[in-house]
Amino acid sequence: MALNDQSSNEAVLKAITANRLRDGEVIFLAPGPDLRWVERLDDAALFEDAATDAALAAAKAQAEGEQFAVDVYAFDLRVADGQRVPVKTRERIRALGPTVRIDLGKQAAA
């Protein structure tokens, strides 16, 4: 079961990410039953631990079957004051884009 931002403040939740094969873009599993992918972490589905494994298995099967994405995995994040903050630096960088120039990538649009 995916959650929305208001269901937990400061709880550790999970999101599912991958890299799109067509262009290498970092993508995130979107909410809903249709296994869609989005490019912004703010649009990603959030999961509690119990629901993550089933969603991750379905996302991996779809991505591999359609040869759409690679490196599908779940990662921890916190929602604090309405902001989604990945726990680890790797996912923070993946969510925002390159760290060498903040005028490029997703952080430029923020």
Q: Which residues of 58-72 are buried (b: 16+ CB within 10 A; e: fewer)?
A: ebbebbeeeebbeeb
- List the beta bridge partners of residue 107: none
- The parent domain of residue 85 ranges over 2-108
Q: Mind listing the pLDDT tens digit for each residue in 28-59?
A: 999 998 899 999 999 999 999 889 999 999 99
Residue 40's nearest CA partner among 49, 29, 48, 32 is 29
Q: Mind listing the pLDDT tens digit for each residue in 3-34?
A: 544 444 477 899 999 999 999 999 999 999 88
**In the prediction, which pLDDT does 110 show?**
64
Q: Report the domain count for the chain.
A: 1
Query: DSSP letters along the chain, please?
Result: -EE-GGG-SS-EEEEEEEEETTT--EEEEPSSTT--EES-GGGS-EE-HHHHHHHHHHHHHHHHHTT-EEEEEEEEEEEETTEEEESSHHHHHHHH--SS-TTSSGGGT-
Residue 12's nearest CA partner among 51, 48, 50 is 48
For tokens 């959650």, the residue is 3
Where is pLDDT greater, at 11 or 107?
A: 11
Q: Mind listing the pLDDT tens digit for each residue in 68-87?
A: 999 999 999 999 888 999 99
